[in-house]
Amino acid sequence: MSGLFLLGIEWSKLRRSKIVWILVAAAIILWVPSVLNAHLNFQMQAEGISPENNFFIQGFMGLAWFLFPASIVVSTVLLTQIERGNGGILKMLTLPVDPRKLCLGKFTVLLSLSAFQMIISTGVYFISGAIASQTQNYDLLLGPAPVLRMAGVIWLTAIPMAAFFWMLSVCVKAPVFSMGIGLASIVPSVLMINTKAWFLYPMCYPFYAVTVEYGKLAENTSCGKIALVPWIPVAVLFTGACLIIACLCFGKAERS
């Protein structure tokens, strides 16, 4: 059974779940303050960053630091509750599908939901940027290339974190704890990006990537650099370990 096929199955389970609206609301909430406070973008001389770059990077920073990780946690709650709510998972386990593939299929849905959120957020960036440009009489919009690249980077660097949250929601039966540990693990990423060992903490990857970008755009600030080694090997190992544990745990409670 191909992965794409299972992905289609999993997507159809999301009908009427209203998750799409939550993600759209998140994207709008992210950019509304930026539009309202657009004048602040012109007071960044100390950092040496241009208004258009500041408008762009501040929004994406808010997204990468909290909103995007938290949305992934919300999505994991959705995915597990849909299965457990009315015992749907029990039916799935009696069908000829490999539970491990089912688990990976659902993880892929999680990634596609987060990709959807990135696309929506990027879309709302262009709209709100256009509005802010009107109100400030200054072109605050960047071209699509750097924006899409940033969105792609955030999404890619969030994969290890998504794998961690997915493992939590599969293995930790009590929803309080899977939600609680997930959200609580986001908060310390502010502290972690300032340390040399940031690559050991996957929850701060997207935020770190954006701050590095900020450092490049703002002339008067210094920010870390992204060294691919040992970061990439650590990230790959971490993601793999989380997914393997999740697959082993998947449906275990229903099968004991």
Partner 1 sequence: MNMIETHDLTKNYGDFQAVFKVNLHVPKGGVYGFVGPNGAGKSTTMKMLLGLTPPTEGTFSINGKTYPKARQEILRSTGSFIEAPAFYGNLTGEENLELIRRILKLPKSSVAEALELVGLAPFGKRLAKKYSLGMKQRLGLAGALLGRPPLLILDEPTNGLDPAGIHEVRELIRSLPKQLDCTVLVSSHLLSEIQLMADHIGILDRGKLLFEGTMEELKTYAASMGYPADNLEDTFLALVHQAEEGGRRK
Partner 2 sequence: MALEFTKIKRTGLLPAFLCGGLLASMIPVLNMAVRSEAYVNLSQPPLDILLDGNWQTMAMLNLLLAVIGACLVYHTEFADNAMEKMRTLPIGEGRMFLGKTLVLACMCIVVLIIETAALATCGAIWFESGDIVWPDLMRNAGCMLLLLLPAVILSLLVASLCENMWISFGIGVLGVFIATMMPSENFALSLFPFALHFHVLGEKTAELGVGAAVEILALVAAGAVIQKIRRRF
Q: What is the DSSP string of 96-140?
A: S--HHHHHHHHHHHHHHHHHHHHHHHHHHHHHHHHHHHHHHTS--
Cβ-based nearer residue to partner 2, 125 or 235:
125
CB of 93 to partner 1, least distance (A): 6
Residues 223 to 242: which contact partner 1 by CB under 8 A?
A: none
Binding partner 2 (rule: CB under 8 A), the pick from 20, 130, 190, 244 is 190
Q: Does 256 bind partner 1 (CB under 8 A)?
A: yes
Rounded Cα distance between 12 and 55, Å, is: 37
Cα 178 to Cα 48, 126, 132, 206, 237, distances in angstroms = 41, 34, 39, 21, 22
Q: Would you count residue 15 as binding partner 1 (CB under 8 A)?
A: yes
Binding range to partner 2, per CB under 8 A, among 48-56, 73-81, 117-125, 208-216: 73-81
Cα angle: 100, vertex 232, 104; to 5 degrees: 15
Using the rule CB under 8 A, which residue among 37, 43, 86, 195 binds partner 1?
86
Does 16 interact with partner 1 (rule: CB under 8 A)? yes
Q: Is 57 left (phi over 0), alpha (psi -120 to 50) or beta?
A: alpha
Partner in contact with 89, chosen from partner 1, partner 2, none, beta carbon below 5 to 8 Å by kind: partner 1
Alpha-carbon distance values, 114 to 2, 52, 145 (Å)? 22, 26, 20
The listed partner (partner 2, partner 1, none) that binds 160, CB under 5 to 8 Å by sort, is none
One-letter amino acid for residue 155 of the chain: W
User: Considering the rule CB under 8 A, would residue 2 count as an interface residue with partner 1?
Assistant: no
Q: Which residue's entry shows tokens 């300032």? A: 194
Residue from 35, 49, 74, 89 in contact with partner 2 (CB under 8 A): 74
The reply to whether 88 sits near partner 1 by the rule CB under 8 A is yes
Nearest CA to 40 among 55, 30, 26?
A: 55
Residue 51: how many other CB atoms lie within 10 Å: 19
Distance of CA 229 to the CA centre of its chain: 23
By CB under 8 A, residue 181 contacts partner 1: no
Q: In angstroms, rounded to a whole number, what is the distance separating the alpha carbons of residues 241 and 247?
A: 10
Residue closer to partner 2 by CB (options 62, 251) is: 62
The binder of partner 2 chosen from 46, 95, 145, 174 (CB under 8 A): 174
Stretch that binds partner 1, among 24-32, 82-90, 179-187, 238-246 (CB under 8 A): 82-90
One residue of 3, 5, 8, 18 binding partner 2 per CB under 8 A: 18
Site residues for partner 1 per CB under 8 A: 1, 5, 8-9, 12-13, 15-17, 82, 85-98, 254-256
